[in-house]
Chain A
Amino acid sequence: MPATPPGAASDPLDAAIDAAIDAASAPESADGRTVLDARDVSRALTRISHEILERNKGAADLVLLGLQTRGVPLAQRIAEKIAAVEGHPVATGSLDVTMYRDDLRSHPTRGPQRTAIPASGIDGKVVVLVDDVLFSGRTVRAALDAVSDLGRPAAVRLAVLVDRGHRELPIRADHVGKNLPSARSERVGVRLAETDGVDEVRISGGGPA
């Protein structure tokens, strides 16, 4: 099964190369293919950590805010990797954007999860939002609203493990673990050791978009 049905990816060449690499490296099963295994996830996070440090010229005034749910452990891991390089801890927090979503009324009510920002706040800091998958961009839009209610950072950046495309808003990530061209009908599932017992990214479903 090809990774993306014809015409679904924004760049067919990219999609074809990606599909070839994935087909060669990952086994296919009934519930989709693994596109990133534990080692790939770790490598991607290491690269993101170094990119953040390079972009920020160090870890000073850096706050990593993980978006609930799976962005939180990802932010923690990136913080650990940065701390290992820099030799001192990086401020982290968690952000729940449930209240800020623009589709609140089209779903049954969901209870908000924990929002916790470092005691020193985020005013004047460089906030890096961390999430597992970047898709429509609406979660990030909500997160930007939530952040502006919490304080006024010097800059807000975005790091994601997977960018699967299909943006509905003019939003892009600063740091991407893997660009994963996908059909809208496909499902990209991120599982992490902290929440699901295993590190992997799978793509499943598909068919005519």
Chain B
Amino acid sequence: MNRHLLSVDDLTADDVAVLFETAAEMHDVQSREVKKLPALRGRTVVNLFFEDSTRTRSSFEIAGKWLSADVVNVSAKGSSASKGESLRDTVLTVCAMGVDGLVVRHGASGAAHQVSGWVDAVVVNAGDGTHEHPTQALLDAYTLQRRLGSLAGRHVVIVGDLTHSRVFRSNVKCLALLGAEVTVVAPPTLMPSGVEAWSRDAGFATSYDLDEVLPKADAVMMLRVQRERMSGGFFPSAREYTVGYGLTRERLGLLRPGAPICHPGPMNRGLEIAADAADAAQSVVLDQVSAGVALRMSVLYHLLAGEGGAA
């Protein structure tokens, strides 16, 4: 396994298998009375978040704490970064305090990669711009694998705002690594430019017709419509998006019985996902959240516990 986790490209299929096996053991810790393992005792992990996030940050925080690491949260709001300090100076300042692991979220694509070149600490990318969110992709795949058994040959449909989604970028790579067939569905305005060439290389299919694809899905992954990242009009109205690409109550009927419904959250209920779908028995949205802690424990353990871990 690489020293850092910046992209799904850093992982082999074997690495993912090892991470999942460890995550399964970590999952059991959640049901224990004492939710604590001593593996990262004496290690310090800083969650350096330049973008707002509740679930990813708390997920990493809980994961680190359950492994007995000292976890510090630094949010850019109200910190020196908002006073004009450069990313490099902020990172070097934090690392000068003796940090072993840095979990970085930043609005700029490639930020985590940059940071990894400046510091001795192990760097985990917790989302960089519209580029990647590797732990989200891993926890999604892990959740689906627990539901479906193996992902090899399974058909996963990813629907929504692909242009602005780092989750989608990491997910197609991760699912391909595990042998799943992937079809991505989006309105033409939210399909990333150059997707044809990429889909040929990475081996996924594209479609603009959700109703046609949905009945063939073994699992469906809804993405959040990221209104905060949209500078222009990508679709005429929320209503129109829902009619074309929302997982509505009617579309729920097109899904195979029991086919898991994923959503990385936070959900825009009534926009990309109807309440009926979000709360359906086959919805694994909350499973994703608890799997997220187990999976991040596994990642932190493998990157930080052994002799290869940070100095």
Interface residues of A (CB under 8 A from B): 96, 98-100, 104-115, 145, 149-151
Contact = CB atoms under 8 A, between A and B. Distances in A.
B308 A108 contact: yes
Nearest to A112: B25
Contacts of A110: 306
B38 A99 contact: yes
B95 interface: no
Interface in B8-31: 18, 21-22, 25, 28
Contact of B306 (A108, A114, A115): A108
A108 B305 CA distance: 8
B22 to A, nearest CB: 5
Given A99-B37, A99-B38, A111 B21 contact: yes
Interface of B: 1, 18, 21-22, 25, 28, 32-34, 36-39, 301-302, 305-309
A115 B308 contact: no
A158 B21 CA distance: 28
Given A99-B38, A151-B33, A109 B306 contact: yes
Contact of B308 (A109, A112, A145): A109
Contact of A105 (B1, B37, B302, B307): B307
Nearest to B42: A105
Given A99-B39, A145-B38, A111 B22 contact: yes
Most buried by B among A107, A109, A115, A151: A109
A113 B25 CA distance: 7
Contacts of B36: 149
Contacts of A98: 39
Contacts of B37: 99-100, 149
A146 to B, nearest CB: 9
16 contacts: A96-B25, A98-B39, A99-B39, A100-B37, A105-B307, A105-B309, A106-B307, A108-B306, A108-B307, A109-B1, A109-B305, A109-B309, A111-B18, A111-B22, A112-B25, A149-B32
Given A99-B39, A104-B306, A105-B306, A112 B22 contact: yes
Contacts of B28: 115
B32 A150 contact: yes
A104 B38 CA distance: 10
Contacts of B18: 111
Contact of A100 (B1, B38, B308): B38
A69 B67 CA distance: 22
Given A99-B39, A109-B309, 9 more contacts: A99-B38, A99-B301, A100-B37, A105-B305, A105-B306, A108-B306, A109-B301, A115-B28, A150-B32
Given A111-B21, A114-B25, A149 B34 contact: yes
Nearest to B19: A111
Nearest to B35: A149
Nearest to A151: B33
Contacts of B38: 99-100, 145
A107 B307 contact: yes
Contacts of B39: 98-100, 104
A104 B33 contact: no
Given A107-B307, A151-B33, A115 B25 contact: yes
A164 to B, nearest CB: 26
Nearest to B37: A99
A106 B25 CA distance: 22
7 tightest Cβ-Cβ pairs between the two chains A and B: A109-B306, A99-B39, A99-B37, A149-B34, A112-B25, A111-B22, A108-B306
Given A99-B37, A100-B38, A145-B38, A109 B25 contact: no
A114 B302 CA distance: 16
Contacts of A96: 25
Contacts of B25: 96, 111-115
Nearest to A106: B307
Contacts of A115: 25, 28
Nearest to B17: A111
B305 A104 contact: yes
A107 B306 contact: yes
Contacts of B308: 108-109
B300 to A, nearest CB: 11
A110 B308 CA distance: 11
B306 to A, nearest CB: 3
Contacts of A149: 32, 34, 36-37
B199 to A, nearest CB: 33
